Structure 1
Amino acid sequence: MAKFLLIPLIAYCLIVAALVLSQRHFLYPAPPAGGGVPIGFTAIEYPTSDGLTLRAGYRAAAPDRPTIVYFHGNGADWQSSVVATDRLVPAGYGVLAAEYRGYQGNPGNPSEKGLYSDGRAAIAWLQQQGVDRSNLVMIGNSIGGGVATQMASEGAAAALVLISPFNSLSQLVAEKMPWLPTSLLLRDHYRNDQKLAEIDAPILILHGDADTLIPVGHARQLAATNNAAQLEIFPGAGHDLAWQDSAERRVLDFLNGNAGKLTALENPSE
């Protein structure tokens, strides 16, 4: 009997050890590097505080229009952010399609702390180009919502849009793997739920009710943390919501509808 009990225990310990050692490989499945520079965008480089140089893409805003800093999901790249903003660019919005360490041939290894550093580096580069922090809109898709939320919590957003976000990575992983002590094993947590309540800016949260990767309940929980947050659920939409025209139109309506607030934030003395 002891031998029969020992075998599954050893197997369980091996699974736990494998997940502990390789969790960031699963959390950040960067696609193969490749792809050119989309028309209208420029390839840019900016340094991080820990000595990396990241490559990303940029398109300047039309006069008096905000600039979007777009943080993509964990299995995507900055070129996919261009596709997800193709209805915003014709309206004059600028886009910095941010990229992460370890993605698209960039040096370094992804982590929560590292991605936050990468987000700050993108914002610092924009400031060097004369784009003020108060003229920035943060948009984050999936795990990129964690980076966007962190940047907004640091005061770097006139508005925040989260698409298919999780309430926290800790909660999501615990739901996916209830048989593991994830609270003890997980290195990256992305506590969006703790940060969103403190953000004083227009907030839009979009989620599909057919999303099987991040259940729609996460978006509802997030929206409940901030009374100012607008929540829209898209019937039948999955985790690819960010690239659907209906989501892009909703983001455009949200930004245009908050144009007066964004202008007020750009000109706080008026």
Structure 2
Amino acid sequence: MRGRLLIGGAVVVIIVAVVFGSAFAFQRRLIYLPSGGPVPSAAEVLPGGRDVALRTADGLTLTSWYFPVAAPRAAVLVAPGNAGNRSLRAPLARALHAAGVATLLLDYRGYGGNPGSPTEAGLALDVRAAREFLAAQARVPLVYFGESLGAAVVAGLAVDFPPAALVLRSPFTDLAAVARRHYPFLPVRLLLLDTFPVADQVARVPAPVTVVYGGADSIVPPEQSRAVAAAAGGRAVEVPGADHNDPVLLDGPAVIAAITAAAG
């Protein structure tokens, strides 16, 4: 009997070790869901659009889209979420262009045919390269806009390089908080390699912050987005009934209004 108990206990330990080990080893495949290519040219999305090459501090060349406008009132750096590539954000680029705002639509390393593999540190380098390009090109006030994971990316950027305004769509308080919602059986804070401490970072940003979120978000709990707005001392805008990936949160009226209001 004792031998069977020992064997049973050993099997449980092995299963737990395999589950935790797999969660640790493959976590970035669960966090980052890039689409490769092909990606259309910027000019196919909008006349006058430009494919641009961004050079990161660690030596990568990332292709992204830049959509200039005549006499822009501001320029927006768009940091996408964790899935797809910039082609999914073409409707957003068109809407912002129509509003008279110059727009840089970033694709991270590993996304849209770009080299490299995404990590928290890597995406921080990517968005810094994007900001450097946009500041040199536009020479007008900069607004940072990030969706979901991209909200975490621009929140980190805003600490070191404060924008004129920061607009976050469906942000989480930190990566562990949202991961715990979906994997409650795992000790996510011990396992995560990337942390993205959004709430802590926005509390240190001097720029005005607007948070737009869906009232029926099944990926990032609405209360987390509201907590980010509270930490920033900013404004929270709920889109009633909207889930995380609904089109209304891509280029809907509330999103565009928040960005254009931030642009002044």
TM-score, normalized by length of structure 2? 0.90
1:231 equivalent in alignment to 2:236 = yes
CA contact (8 A) 2:209 2:235 kept: yes
Q: Deviations over 1:145-192 (max 9, x none)?
A: 111111222224111111111111021112322222221210100000
- Please state if 1:60 is matched with 2:68: yes
Alpha-carbon distance between aligned partners in 1 of 2:147 and 2:262, rounded to the nearest angstrom: 20
1:39-118 equivalences under 5 Å are 39-40=46-47, 41-118=49-126
- 1:93-172 correspondence runs (5 A): 93-129=101-137, 131-132=138-139, 135-172=141-178
Tell me, yes or no, if structure 1 residue 173 matches structure 2 residue 183: no
Q: Distance in 1 between matches of 2:177 and 2:259?
A: 30
Q: Post-superposition shift, 1:8? A: 2.4
Match of 2:214 in 1: 208
Alpha-carbon contact 2:135-2:142 (below 8 Å) kept:
no
RMSD between superposed Cα atoms in Å = 1.9
Give unpaired runs (5+ residues) of structure 1.
Answer: 263-270
Matched, 1:11 2:19: no
Partner of 1:195: 201
Structure 2: where are the runs of 5+ without partners?
none
Residue 44 of structure 1 aligns with an amino acid whose one-letter code is V
Aligned-partner Cα distance in 1 for 2:94–2:168: 17
Report how far residue 257 of structure 1 moved. 4.0
- Whole-angstrom CA distance in 2 between matches of 1:257 and 1:206: 13
Cα distance in 1 for residues equivalent to 2:187 and 2:13: 14
> Residue type matched to 1:213 in 2?
I
Quote the offset at 1:135 in angstroms: 1.1
Q: How far apart are the structure 2 equivalents of 1:60 and 1:138?
A: 16
Residue 23 of structure 1, aligned match among 24, 27, 47? 27
1:209: Cα distance to partner?
Answer: 1.8
Counterpart pick for 1:253 among 250, 253, 257:
257
What SS does structure 1 have at the residue aligned with 2:77?
strand
TM-score (norm 1): 0.88
Q: For the residues of structure 1 that align with 2:80 and 2:72, how far apart are their CA atoms?
A: 25
The one-character-per-residue Cα deviations of 1:67-97 (angstroms, maximum 9, x if unpaired) are 1110111112122222224322111101100
How big is the shift at 1:216? 0.7
- How many residues are treated as equivalent by the alignment? 256
Residue identity matched to 1:90? A
AA aligned opposite 2:174: S
Aligned identity (percent) is 30
Q: Distance in 2 between matches of 1:255 and 1:211?
A: 20
Aligned amino acid, residue 152 of structure 1: A
Report deviation, 1:256: 4.5
Change (3 A) 1:75 1:225: same
* In 1: Cα distance, 2:208 partner to 2:72 partner: 18
Deviations 1:114-161 (A, max 9, x none): 0010000011112332x34x6111110110111111122222411111
- Pairwise CA distance, 1:245: 7.2
The letter for the 1-side match of 2:238 is I
C-alpha separation between the residues in 2 aligned to 1:193 and 1:254? 19
Give the Cα separation in 2 of the matches to 1:247 and 1:45: 25
Shift of 1:61: 3.0
